Homo-oligomer: A and B are copies of this chain.
Amino acid sequence: MTVREGSEGDTETRGDIRRRLSLAEFQAAGLANVSPVAQKESVPLADAVGRVAAEAVRARIPLPAFRRSAVDGYALRAEDRDRALAVVGKTTAGHPPQRSVGPGEAMMLTTGAMVPEGADAVALVERCRVQDGMVQVEEPVRPGQHISPIGEDFHVGQVLVDVDRVLEPVDVAALASQGVEYIEVWRRPRVGVVSTGDELVPLGQPLGAAQVYDVNGSVLMAMVRAAGADPVWLGRLEDRYPVVRDGLERARDRADWDVLVSSGGTGASIPVFQEMPVEELHDLMPAVLGEVGQLLAHGIRMTPGRPTALGRLGGRPAFLLPGWPYAVLVHFEMVVAPALAKMAHRPAPARRRVAARLAAAVAPSPDLTRIIQAQLVADEGGQLVAHLLMPPAPPSASRIMTQMLTADGFVVVERGERLAAGEEVAVWVSSAGSSPVGSRDQGRRD
């Protein structure tokens, strides 16, 4: 992995971007920096959907475990099908037959009942004429008819669930068929969350002059949980060197997180405010991580929010996100979520892609990958048209969330990419499905 040091502030207008990684390089570095969680835990089947199997489970009993009648009808010997047969009893599902079926005999069965010994076929009840304790079958009967043989569905030794399977309801069904109550799954990644900034006030408390609420703390806790991981709140740090240093040292000494995600303090005031004493420096996170742990990369050639950093703390991966909430939202999704998926033994998280034609051209940006929010509307012909919500001019591009509130998704415009009006693009639509387009697209065929 390429080691870079950050030197850029959290400013859309600043200069030197050559030392930053591209988005793809940063994503790859982030993935290389994390490992799948090795710990397992046992969960009841009712909680298993969406978890990731940490064990392979094979069928230990066949399904069905006995010759099972597939219909309501009469068990008999196929060779007897032309004779009137004596009805020798009844077997319902869940109860073993009281006797076997001999030549010239038949036994009434309900669907799911065990077929008695001696019988090798079941005649459908609607095709039987019953009178005076005798039954006459009115259709051809072949051996095996309407009998589900042992192991027809699952045979013993068949792999029902493999390691790293993201469990679906059908897996619960397969496990339940074995009488299994619990399954071993990978423990969820535990994500330590840190907010930094003198200006932050916890939610619910009064806001003083020049202060803002700690948006990122709540956003990161919520995004971690929505990503199927467990957030661990590590606290809020003021922008002072001893506080940040102490905070990261205390985080390093805790064993209850697998990956750290922070927000704020990732710009680089240090080179530009050189006259400030060290204890007054701001934007300290990458520098202090480099002291207390290891700084691996700093800066993504991407907007919004370029100064995300990557490193290690206490032998574990750390993602330092910028402070602007919009940048946190986008960087978490583009950089942290894929790494969390790898830690959780999952495939990369997905938004759904929807093809749409661009309402207007997009001029190329030579240096930055741009995440641009988009609204989708259907034209007269029902074709989707993407209206890009172009970010405001710098320096506000990373600071404005309001467009994301009304967007249906976003478009990724690569460095140097020029897009024409009417060109087809992929819009990444939220999987939450709250957009009208999402629900329209999600309509079933009938």
- Partner-B contacts on A (CB < 8 A): 9-11, 13-15, 22-24, 27, 45-50, 61, 63-66, 70-72, 90-97, 108, 110-114, 124-126, 130, 146, 148, 152-154, 158, 160, 165-181, 197-201, 203-205, 207-219, 221-223, 225-226, 231, 239, 267, 269, 272-273, 275-276, 280, 282-283, 323, 325-326, 328-329, 332, 334, 338, 346-350, 352, 369, 392, 395-396, 399-402, 404-405, 412, 414, 426, 430-434, 438-439, 441-446
Contact = CB atoms under 8 A, between A and B. Distances in A.
A40 to B, nearest CB: 18
Contacts of A438: 347, 350
A290 B49 CA distance: 34
A182 to B, nearest CB: 9
The interface centre, meaning the residue of A65, A275, A347, A392 with most chain B CB atoms within 10 A of its CB, is A347
Nearest to A12: B70
A153 B46 contact: no
Contacts of A434: 165-168, 347
Contacts of A63: 212, 401
Nearest to A15: B126
Contact of A198 (B45, B93, B205, B426): B93
Contacts of A9: 71-72, 111
A13 B146 CA distance: 10
Interchain residue pairs A-B with the least CB separation, the first 10: A94-B199, A347-B439, A94-B198, A350-B442, A166-B434, A70-B395, A46-B221, A114-B210, A49-B226, A93-B199
Nearest to A22: B446
A72 B273 contact: yes
10 contacts: A11-B72, A24-B446, A92-B282, A169-B223, A172-B223, A176-B203, A176-B218, A177-B401, A178-B213, A179-B203
Given A146-B395, A179-B203, A446-B23, A226 B50 contact: yes
Given A45-B203, A198-B92, A207-B61, A405 B125 contact: no
Given A49-B226, A72-B282, A153-B400, 5 more contacts: A49-B432, A93-B199, A112-B199, A347-B433, A347-B442
A431 B146 CA distance: 35
B213 A177 contact: yes
Contact of A426 (B64, B215, B334, B445): B445
A161 to B, nearest CB: 8
